[in-house]
Structure 1
């Protein structure tokens, strides 16, 4: 128990690039642009952190709550990214399979750890079919139990290439699919549905 008679001295908080490199690792992003997109901030803000060696405390807490990454590791550079001996870790966090796109393929990366409360806030139900996919710097949650397109965004395979696209089922076994702001119709047999995006 903490003795209130003793002073709490400031910690040696790190800032600038030390922080952003760990934020990128925790969020599985690359570069200032990827980090800015996931956090909803400007690249100029990140540049300011670097120039002034600032510690973005609010962002660090946000990433900690969303991913379960250790606060000590994020802002002090001490210990491991995830505290494995935390008595609450098993109950409050979940590891999800994580994938990225590379040349039309889906490549499995290290699993990502999420705080269950964060997933609940996004109405994401954890199951054996849930995966996380990196799309244009964002993380999207995909439920692999969906194998038919009705309406929404889906993880699909066409001619061997994997992508995430908006689909709409049409009469006559047709599917409308969006490609770069244009819509085309395909026979549903030409599309393999690998899962549905349930939150991003």
Structure 2
């Protein structure tokens, strides 16, 4: 998605969402000068900070405010789950929080960057800020600079909300539910790709826990060979089945069969071999697989 252009039409939609008929009314609402708004309008840069504030205050769809559509083709697959009901849920959540604690709804887009970035990491299911930087296509120094300056990342907030379906108000101020459009049984889990034997962080996977008869204590999704494996990193013993393993420093998904004594047969689609169970590092036991990786 391109969050750099489209400022003119976005500002027009922001005015429509607020119900304003003049740009001066919008300036008064946002607390900015007419020259500042005129400059943003002329440059046509997407006003991500205005969009975040407008979406939270009016309940308007971020996707509509930014792109003028509810189903923009540039948005990655996870955002397809964002529906009109979700946007209504966001608005309802804002109003509900405001009614319970009216003094807690304070939006200051000039600060709060550190906490917001930590919530971005959490929403994507990453474990490090470096993984977030890689996903956003920015340098580690760029992320570190915003973090240290506490600069509010409105552009990243919008991208994360569209890609993950995370609540905009939670991403912005940390209030309400993280994923208020999801059932209690659906939650994001860490996801990794196997590339040339290396495990690479890859955003998240939305897991419906109702699909499993036994709970997964430490679930993880692994994308490998056009499949996504749902595995559990918590296990008490090595049993027959498919596993995420490390063999001589390389990660892969292999079928493991126990054989006497203290030995295993290791199989994949092209070969098999036998070795001591101690020669393999077992990372996670696979419980299901989704063909045609999404």
User: Which range, TM-score by smaller chain?
Assistant: 0.5 to 0.7
Q: Is the 8 A contact 2:185 2:210 kept in 1?
A: no
Shift of 1:83: 4.2
Which one is further off, 135-144 or 153-162? 135-144
Secondary structure of 1:172's counterpart equals coil
Q: Is the 8 A contact 1:148 1:193 kept in 2?
A: no
Output the CA distance in 2 between the equivalents of 1:184 and 1:133.
23
Secondary structure of 2:209's counterpart equals helix
Shift of 1:143: 0.6
Q: 1:186 to 1:126 in 2, by over 3 A?
A: closer
Q: 1:193 to 1:126 in 2, by over 3 A?
A: closer
**Alignment length (residue pairs):** 137
After TM superposition, the structure 1 = structure 2 runs for residues 74-113 of structure 1, keeping only pairs within 5 Å, are 80-81=162-163, 82-84=165-167, 87=180, 89=182, 91-113=184-206
Q: 1:187 to 1:135 in 2, by over 3 A?
A: same
Shift of 1:13: 7.0
Q: 1:183 to 1:92 in 2, by over 3 A?
A: closer
Q: Is the 8 A contact 1:147 1:193 kept in 2?
A: no
Mark the structure with the bigger radius of gyration.
Answer: 2
Shift of 1:89: 3.9
Q: Is the 8 A contact 1:147 1:195 kept in 2?
A: no
Aligned twin of 2:83: 71
Shift of 1:124: 6.3
Q: 196, 215, 220: which one pairs with 1:125?
A: 215
Q: Is the 8 A contact 1:131 1:143 kept in 2?
A: yes
Aligned twin of 1:30: none
- Stretches of structure 2 that go unaligned for 5 or more consecutive residues are 1-68, 85-160, 168-175, 290-294
Aligned CA-pair RMSD: 3.2
Shift of 1:22: 2.7
Q: 1:199 to 1:180 in 2, by over 3 A?
A: closer
Q: Is the 8 A contact 2:243 2:286 kept in 1?
A: yes
Q: 1:182 to 1:155 in 2, by over 3 A?
A: same
- Stretches of structure 1 that go unaligned for 5 or more consecutive residues are 1-11, 28-59, 65-69, 73-78
Shift of 1:169: 0.5
Shift of 1:157: 0.7
Shift of 1:148: 4.2
Structure with greater proportional helix content: 2
Q: Is the 8 A contact 1:146 1:193 kept in 2?
A: no
TM-score, length-scaled by structure 2:
0.40
Q: 150, 153, 175: which one pairs with 2:239?
A: 150
TM-score, length-scaled by structure 1:
0.56
